[in-house]
């Protein structure tokens, strides 16, 4: 995994996200949806919908008041019953309606930094971009190609689910 150098690039030479320079060697996926940004953000802002689009999240136990404000958390379970792990996902950066950055935990398997960006592609179309990077735990020890092989398909499915939920919202 690369590190940021003084030029704003990862040591691997990859150009970083303009607003999240520490995402080097990340798994990245994009998807366009025929829904306005407000509808997509509406799903993200509904913490109780998290298990409906985040692959692996199986149950929401609690959503902090004020979600998705900075520092708020979703208390979730990961896995299939009866073998589940209870943990949290916390908002570490947010630009409402445009971007949310989360620390997703599922110990003892690890912790990841996830960033979801929304970009309007017209009045009723949104480009969703998700990037993820393992930060700690066993997943961080895996070689980058193995991490990508595990993360990218999961995140493609997550954006597909988010897209479906956004399309079914009445709009905000």
Task: Provide the pLDDT for residue 139.
Answer: 80
Q: What percent of the residues of the chain are helix, what percent strand, and what percent coil, each to the nearest 5? A: 25, 40, 35
Task: Provide the pLDDT for residue 25.
Answer: 55
pTM for the full predicted model: 0.83
Task: Provide the pLDDT for residue 69.
Answer: 98
Domain residue extents for the chain = 27-167
- Helix count (H) and strand count (E) of the chain? 3, 7
Query: In a structure prediction context, what are the per-residue pLDDT tens digits for the chain, which is 172 residues long?
Result: 333 333 333 444 333 444 444 455 578 999 999 999 999 999 999 999 999 999 989 999 999 999 999 999 999 999 888 889 999 999 999 999 999 999 999 877 789 999 999 999 999 999 999 999 888 888 888 888 888 888 899 999 999 999 999 999 865 4
Q: Strand 57-63 relative to strand 99-106: parallel, antiparallel, unpaired? A: unpaired
Peptide bond into 11 cis (omega under 30): no
Rounded to an integer, what distance in angstroms lies between the CA atom of residue 99 and that of residue 65?
19
Rounded to an integer, what distance in angstroms lies between the CA atom of residue 122 and that of residue 34?
9
Class of domain 27-167: alpha beta
Token pair belonging to 23: 């995402």
Rounded to an integer, what distance in angstroms lies between the CA atom of residue 152 and that of residue 159?
11
């Amino acid at each position: 995994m690369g590190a940021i150098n003084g030029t704003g690039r990862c040591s691997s030479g990859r150009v970083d996200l303009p607003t999240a320079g520490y995402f080097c060697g990340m798994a990245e996926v994009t998807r366009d949806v025929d829904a306005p940004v407000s509808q997509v953000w509406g799903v993200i802002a509904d913490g109780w919908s998290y298990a409906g689009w985040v692959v692996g999240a199986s149950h929401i136990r609690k959503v902090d008041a004020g979600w998705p404000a900075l520092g708020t958390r979703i208390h979730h379970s990961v896995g299939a019953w009866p073998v589940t792990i209870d943990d949290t996902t916390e908002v570490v950066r947010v630009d409402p309606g445009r971007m949310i950055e989360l620390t997703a935990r599922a110990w003892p398997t690890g912790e990841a930094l996830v960033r979801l960006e929304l970009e309007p592609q017209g009045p009723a179309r949104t480009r969703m971009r998700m990037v993820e990077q393992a930060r700690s735990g066993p997943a961080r020890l895996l070689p980058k190609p193995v991490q990508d092989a595990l993360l990218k398909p999961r995140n493609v499915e997550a954006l597909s689910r988010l897209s479906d939920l956004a399309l079914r919202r009445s709009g905000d």
